[in-house]
Each structure stands twice: as C-alpha cells, then as structure tokens.
Structure 1
C-alpha cells in the first residue's frame, strides 16, 4: 500500500512564480507535446528545492537505488556546451535526485512537508562526471509522484571547478503507451495526478525541451535519455 503524505507545503515550495506573481496549479490531462529535447537549446532554470541533496559530493555513484523497490530505470543524461555548438561537454559534474515509488524523498521527512521520515537515508541521489561523450549514466527506479507535481527528476550541473552551470528538472512523456502510462502510478494509480501541462514547473515548456525520451517495458525496465545544454 502506498502511504499518503502531506503535500500542500511541497506544492507551494515547488511553484514557479509568473511575472505577475501568480502561480499555476491543477491536475491537467495527459499531454501530447512533441519533445524537441536534443537540439541546441537551453532548458529553463527550475527550483532546486524543496528536497535537494544535502552533501552531493558524498554520493559519487552510478547505482543510486540503495535497495529501493520499483521498476528499473537507466538514466542517461548527455551534457552539451551551448558555447561550442552544443558539442559534448566532458568533465561536467552532474547531480540527480528524485522521489521513490511512493512519492517520498530521502534525507527529509517527519514534518508537514513529508510525513514519512527518511532523514537518515540517502536513496535515489547520486553524482557522476561526464565522459568524453558528455554522458553520465545512473541506475535507478522509475519515480513515483506526489500531489501537485508531475513525475520528474532533478538535475544540477557544475563545471570541473564546482561552479554551478544549470539547475533544472526532467519531465516524462505522457499519453497512451508511454512508460508513465505503463507504470500507472505504481499502486497509487493516477487519480489526482498532475500532468505536465498543469504542473507549475513544466506548464510553460511549450516545445518540450524538458521532456526526456523514455523507452522500455515493465519486465525489462526502462531507459531515459535526456540532452541538457549548458553555457560552459
């Protein structure tokens, strides 16, 4: 049974404020946005919180599951340099983190933001350095969801000197036959799910630059590919 979590504070913390000070919310519907990810464009900067990794340098690892159960997900992120025609950027430091199948984050909890207390564990968080092809690969599980947000993965990229280059979030394709539809919210289901077009982070991504390519099956697992271009 997927445990319920208290979410209003999480929703507020993740909201993207528009130029007039308003915010977006709502459950939305499965979108049909065509992803243009991989072209020489820069993904929007997004909020790092409310659950960033507290000491990311402590979790240099490719397998970030830490025993968490869920459908296998191989996460492949390629970093390109916008100042070099988006050619592969070697030596970039890439941190990722996401929630578990129940919608909970490690390193936090026991509060109104997340009732389940996971303060002493560090699952689904990791750091890798890009190879000569600008690629990092993580072994993880398919993220779950929590009220007010679409399924997503957080990404923070630094240069070799540790200077921040980009903080963004990765969205998942939606609609019939997609990995998101196959996973179907794990045991929680999709009732009350917030789709990308109503998510307060992704709703303004009209061209799909934040949407990854996700392939695979429930039995074999899934593979996510995402191109993130930064100014290095």
Structure 2
C-alpha cells in the first residue's frame, strides 16, 4: 500500500514527445518546466491546519473507510489483515506508520501538493461525455474504485460543485471514442461511438467525486496513467451529459506505483497487450518532476488478490480562478461520436462537423448507468 502521500502532488501532463501519434509536446514540456521553476507554492502544507480544524481530515477517513468496506461487502470479501496491507511494498517508517496503523490515520492525512496547471488535455479527449460514477461498462480488467478530492490552493477549502472528469485507456491500451493510428485497431471505425472508461462527477461538500472503473492498461511510450479535468462552468443536458463548450481550471494525469502496475500486467486481459510497456522511471515528464512532484494514487487491495479489486484515493490542489479552453479530439452526440477536424489531427475516424442539431437534450440516464448510444446530447 502506498503510504507516503495522501494529497496528490501536481497532476502530471502527457509524457514523451511522441506520446501519441501526431502530437508534439515540445512546447508543453518547456512551459511546464518554466512553471515548476516559478511556482510560489509547492505544496498544500499551508492548508493542513485549516483542513484539520474544519473536520475535512476526519471526514476523509470516515468516507474512504466506508467506501472501502462497501466495496468489499458488495464483492463478499472479508476485511484485509492490516498487518499484511501495511507491510506490502512501501517503507513508511519516516512517516511514523507502523504495522498497527489504523484506518483513521491511514485515510486522513494531507501532505504536499504541487500545483501544475497544464496546457494540454491530451490528444484523446472527447467532449460531451456522461455524468456518471460507474464508467467501466463492459470492459474487462481489475475492478478499481477511486476517491478524488479537489482543494483550492489559495483558500484551502474543498472545491465544491464543480465537475471532475476522468478518462483512461482499457486493459489493452485503447481509448474509447477515438479512431486513430496508434489507438488500437484503427480500422474499427465503430470505436468512435464508444464511451467506456470516460465519465464525469460533481464534487460534493468536501470536494469529493468517486468513480468505479477498471485499472488502466498501457500503450507504447507512456507510463500507465489516468487523465483528470476540472470543469469550471459547464453546460448540463437533461439526459445526463456535459456540453461541448468546454472550459477547465485544471487538466492533468495521475499515476500508480510500478509494482502494482507490474502485478496487474500479469493478469488477463492485460497480458494480451502486445504494445511495449513504458515504466514510470522511463516516462520523461514524470522523471523530470520526480524531485518536486509525486503524482501517484494511494491504494489498498479490496481482498487478498488483485482480481478482488483496488481502492485508490488522492487529493490535489488547483487554482480555481484559472480558466482554460479545451479543444476535444472528438465529440459525443446523440447520433454518436464525431471527430473534431480542428483538433490538430489528434482524433480520427468519422470526421466532419458536428451533426446538425446535435447538442439538443434528449432522454435521461441516471448517474452510474451504462449509456444508451442514442440518448446522449
């Protein structure tokens, strides 16, 4: 279990210059390096006392432990032996953790957090996705429940009522909603209409949004990661999707420990992925920021085996006054997916302008439900 840091240190942007076909990150890498050398606040240590005084830490522990036990009960799993959990992998001696550390201590801490507003959302972002907590759909893989928390770095208050979006590739390295060379079988044009492993949730009174998904797979030149985006003033449709006029206050990526990734990659269907694995140590951006940024999820296993699932959590600071526009690689409409011709060639598949009349609300889908392709706006 990862015990070294509960608050996420700066969600990291895309890695190698050739991370995705046709997408050059040289400018983004340079701008990010400039930001890291000039940032005034490198962590959230100034927020620790306020978060504790307001009871945020205590509520974090209660919420995360409840979510963990609920996930175990749902799967008929017994509570894991804490000695085994804490003794696995990371040496947490410097933090004062012992083999008998209880759940309250484990789940309540707030450590450093580097603010790193990114200038790219990556080439495989799709606008207009579902507001839902369960994004797994029919994808095979290790079940993963994630608890995200958003904190304002200036006020040290939880950022409430904003929409946190996440997306990642499946167990064999394919992103839904995109047809492009390097993203699975580029001849499968039906993928433009897929929505798996993409979703959006509104943060609650503690700035929290939870998602049910599967553990992400890998693809050539990138370390295993999850994309995160905080929407500042979105348009909401009555059928449960977010509008395509996208503005954000934060775009970034979060990672997992290499030993966890390696264990997952030995299981099916991850072990059928023939793309080359890029380890965390070989991810150029992650390596460059290692001295000041620790963008990794904390996690514990739900049971005694990976197949039982993973519970992960992290919190991260943002500048909630910052607003950036986003250019999706594709859009999701009630007629299906449509590639964005103005995205710089990052999308693919069924290109062209959005269908006439797209974006009009229709139907309704409750949060957490699997979407019907004909229902989205």
The TM-score by the shorter chain falls in which range? Answer: 0.7 to 0.9
Gap regions ≥5 residues in structure 2: 1-17, 32-89, 93-108, 236-246, 321-377
RMSD: 2.8
Q: Distance in 2 between matches of 1:147 and 1:227?
A: 28
Name 1:195's counterpart in structure 2: 279
Larger Rg: 2
Q: Distance in 2 between matches of 1:195 and 1:188?
A: 17
- Residue 261 of structure 2 aligns to a residue whose secondary structure is helix
Aligned pairs (5 A) from 1:1-232: 10=20, 13=23, 15=25, 17=27, 18-19=29-30, 38-45=111-118, 47-56=120-129, 59-85=130-156, 87-109=157-179, 111-116=180-185, 117=188, 118-160=191-233, 163-175=247-259, 179-184=260-265, 186-188=270-272, 192-206=276-290, 207-216=292-301, 217-232=305-320
Gap regions ≥5 residues in structure 1: 1-7, 21-31
Please tell me whether the aligned partners of residues 160 and 203 of structure 2 are also in contact (alpha carbons under 8 angstroms).
yes
Are the structure 2 counterparts of residues 107 and 14 from structure 1 closer, same or farther at C-alpha, using a change threshold of 3 Å?
A: farther
Q: Distance in 1 between matches of 2:110 and 2:120?
A: 19
Alpha-carbon distance, 1:199 to partner: 1.3
Please tell me whether the aligned partners of residues 72 and 140 of structure 1 are also in contact (alpha carbons under 8 angstroms).
yes
Larger fraction in helix: 2
Are the structure 2 counterparts of residues 142 and 9 from structure 1 closer, same or farther at C-alpha, using a change threshold of 3 Å?
A: closer
Alpha-carbon distance, 1:76 to partner: 1.4
TM-score when scaled to structure 1? 0.77
Q: How many residues were matched structurally?
A: 205
Alpha-carbon distance, 1:9 to partner: 7.2
Q: Distance in 1 between matches of 2:223 and 2:308?
A: 24
Larger fraction in strand: 1
Alpha-carbon distance, 1:203 to partner: 2.4
Are the structure 2 counterparts of residues 46 and 213 from structure 1 closer, same or farther at C-alpha, using a change threshold of 3 Å?
A: farther
Structure with more relative contact order (C-alpha pairs < 8 Å, separation 6 or more): 1
Q: Distance in 2 between matches of 1:231 and 1:77?
A: 16
